[in-house]
Structure 1
Amino acid sequence: MDGMEFTQLKAFVTVCDERAFGRAAKRLAVSPSALSRAVRSLESRLGIRLLNRTTRSVGLTEAGAVLYERIKPMLAGMDEAVLAVEAYQGTPMGVVRINLPSIAARIAVLPKLQQFRLAYPAVRLDLVIDNDITDVVAQGFDAGVRIGGQISRDMVAVRITPDLRMAVVGAPAYFADRPPPQVPAELKDHFCLTYKWKSTGALSQWRFDNGGSVFDVEVNNVLTLNDTDLLLLAACRGLGLACLVEDLVESALENKQLIRVLEPWCQFFPGFYLYYSERTHMPASLRAFIDFLKIGEPGLLMPKGLID
């Protein structure tokens, strides 16, 4: 159906509803003569009269009645569909799909979900845990969460955590028969548990800061995992030292399950950002979720792929 055909059918149904060209023209905000031409064009195209006209009334022919009965529900359904879509723009509702690593879910999103649910009960969240770097647009996500330096160029990003810091930790049982390292170079004498990226097979670097000079240290990787929660569990069970985000090990440190070492050397790094493709008409549900999580500055378009 082309645009002209739709206009003609809309004109015909409106005239049938109002049983008068004048009232129908007013409803559609067109002139009566333009409305009459549209209906005549439809009749001409179909090759059959649809309306019987007099100076005082408009009636349906048998063919017109058949067409009206079939077309009216279709046009009404289209109007309802448009109104339903417009509702998404005005009121936060529907599903928001977010791609994010497990640690971001734990420290940045889950703590706020109860308040979000109370504020926006019509919004359903689909959180997909993914510790690799995923093209959120190609995979059909509304947004993603990543560390600042990992965000692709030309994405809009909003900060959802402050800068984060790494922590090197080990269990009391691990240190029972070996001294804690005092400087990063002594890590060569320790068993280390390291995160491994599933998509590339690359190992996460053990990176330290010596008063502004950042450097990496090669460690003895006795166990690699692509899950930070399992790395934490392995460290708590005394299998070796792990280098994890402070927020992830905070509880274990408080409960004396882990002991922290090399704290003066541990590096701060850009925190987590929620990012999405630039869009003119953002669903109200996604806007509500972004506004609920963001801290600090408003969304920025990142031209070089780096946040900090």
Structure 2
Amino acid sequence: MLRENIADLMAFMVVAEEKSFTKAARKLNISQSALSHSIKNLEDRLHLQLLRRTTRSVAPTNIGERLLELYTPHLVAMESELKNLCETIDHPSGTIRITAPDYAAKAILWPKLCPLLAKYPDIHLEISIDYALTDIVAERFDAGVRLGEQVEKDMIALKIGPDLRMAAVASPHYLETHSVPETPRDLLEHHCINLRLPTSGGFYVWEFEENGHECKIRVEGQLSFNTIDQALDAAEAGFGIAYTTEDAVVERVASGRLKRILENYCPPFPGYYLYYPTRRQHTAAFQLVIDSLRYKAL
């Protein structure tokens, strides 16, 4: 009944506005007989006379006027929202909020989304840098970025980057003045730069693979930080060995400021994923963000 009433109420509103079945039928792009049938059905269902018809004019009855006052604002608002939704398809707009660690934001999000933002100036992007495993629903983010192994099972996960490997690095000067570690356990005899985790508050345990088995090493050293760049700066300055993803050290290694060690003990693992709560209907803007970030292997 609701579906039928909405369609017939829209027809009634146009007849009342045009004060003519002929003009209203033309505006609605239907036949005059179909329009008359629609109005009659509405009046029959409601058991009300909504229009007063004469040979020269059509006008709402008193009850028809009351109905128009009650429903016209809602019907106009619905029509306006539907129009906006349709226009959004051609002109995506709105704010997309994403939480991500700084390296993922710099190396993946910005390069891929920069062209999208230039093409669609009405899309607004807010990137919040955070190492913690943010609850995107509670914090009202549209999506978050994590390493694949950290994504919760109830989230939709979209691969946005290649698989990664970890990298242990040190400055040439440090390696010249200390013995080069041959196995992960040799790190226990070295100065290592710790990274404090924002989630648990503890230090990150360095993970390697030795002879097909996982090997975890709790390292010690003079320095600890809560961001990767600080740890790498300290490694460059010769304060010890740092441990992070290899994509974060590419430039420093290529320039010779840092050298990799224990490379054979660092197997690949799932890289960065965009995650979001459900498969509900996305806005056009968010769908464009998803399509832009989707990883395409070369």
Partner amino acid for 1:164? L
Give per-residue Cα distances to partners, 1:101-131, cap 9 Å, x unaligned.
2121122222323333344443222112221
Q: Name the CA shift for 1:5/1:113 in 2 (closer, same or farther; >3 Å).
A: closer
The 8 Å contact of residues 207 and 217 in structure 2, kept in 1 or not, is answered as: yes
Per the alignment, residue 58 of structure 2 pairs with: 58
How many residue pairs get aligned? The number is 292
How many Å separate the matches in 2 of 1:34 and 1:106? 59
Per the alignment, residue 97 of structure 1 pairs with: 97
Q: Report deviation, 1:213.
A: 2.3
Structure 2 unaligned spans of 5+ = none
Per the alignment, residue 39 of structure 2 pairs with: 35
Q: Name the CA shift for 1:143/1:28 in 2 (closer, same or farther; >3 Å).
A: farther
How many Å separate the matches in 1 of 2:36 and 2:77? 26
Matched, 1:242 2:246: no
How many Å separate the matches in 1 of 2:15 and 2:47? 14
Per the alignment, residue 106 of structure 1 pairs with: 106
Per the alignment, residue 80 of structure 1 pairs with: 80
The 8 Å contact of residues 11 and 38 in structure 2, kept in 1 or not, is answered as: no
Higher relative contact order (CA 8 A, sep 6+): 1
How many Å separate the matches in 2 of 1:176 and 1:6? 81
Q: Report deviation, 1:296.
A: 4.3
Higher mean alpha-carbon deviation, 264-273 vs 67-76, is at 67-76
How many Å separate the matches in 2 of 1:231 and 1:38? 73
Give per-residue Cα distances to partners, 1:235-277, cap 9 Å, x unaligned.
2233321101111111112222222222222232111111223
Equivalent residue runs for 1:283-298 within 5 Å: 283-296=283-296
Q: Name the CA shift for 1:162/1:127 in 2 (closer, same or farther; >3 Å).
A: same
Partner amino acid for 2:112? K
How many Å separate the matches in 1 of 2:118 and 2:201? 41
Structure 1 unaligned spans of 5+ = 298-308
Give per-residue Cα distances to partners, 1:173-193, cap 9 Å, x unaligned.
434532332221111121212
Q: Name the CA shift for 1:296/1:212 in 2 (closer, same or farther; >3 Å).
A: farther
Identity level (%): 35
Matched, 1:117 2:133: no
Structure 1 length as normaliser, TM-score? 0.79
Partner amino acid for 1:183? T
How many Å separate the matches in 2 of 1:4 and 1:119? 41
Q: Report deviation, 1:3.
A: 8.4
Partner amino acid for 1:32? S
The 8 Å contact of residues 167 and 245 in structure 1, kept in 2 or not, is answered as: yes
Give per-residue Cα distances to partners, 1:32-66, cap 9 Å, x unaligned.
2441464698896xxxx975431331136799789
The 8 Å contact of residues 25 and 35 in structure 1, kept in 2 or not, is answered as: no
Partner amino acid for 1:81? E
Q: Write 1 or 2 for the structure with the bigger share of strand.
A: 1
How many Å separate the matches in 1 of 2:202 and 2:55? 83
Q: Give the 3-state SS of the residue equivalent to 1:95 in structure 2.
A: strand
How many Å separate the matches in 1 of 2:106 and 2:122? 23
The 8 Å contact of residues 13 and 71 in structure 1, kept in 2 or not, is answered as: no
Matched, 1:216 2:220: no
Give the root-mean-square deviation of aligned CA atoms.
3.3
Per the alignment, residue 141 of structure 1 pairs with: 141
Q: Name the CA shift for 1:240/1:188 in 2 (closer, same or farther; >3 Å).
A: same
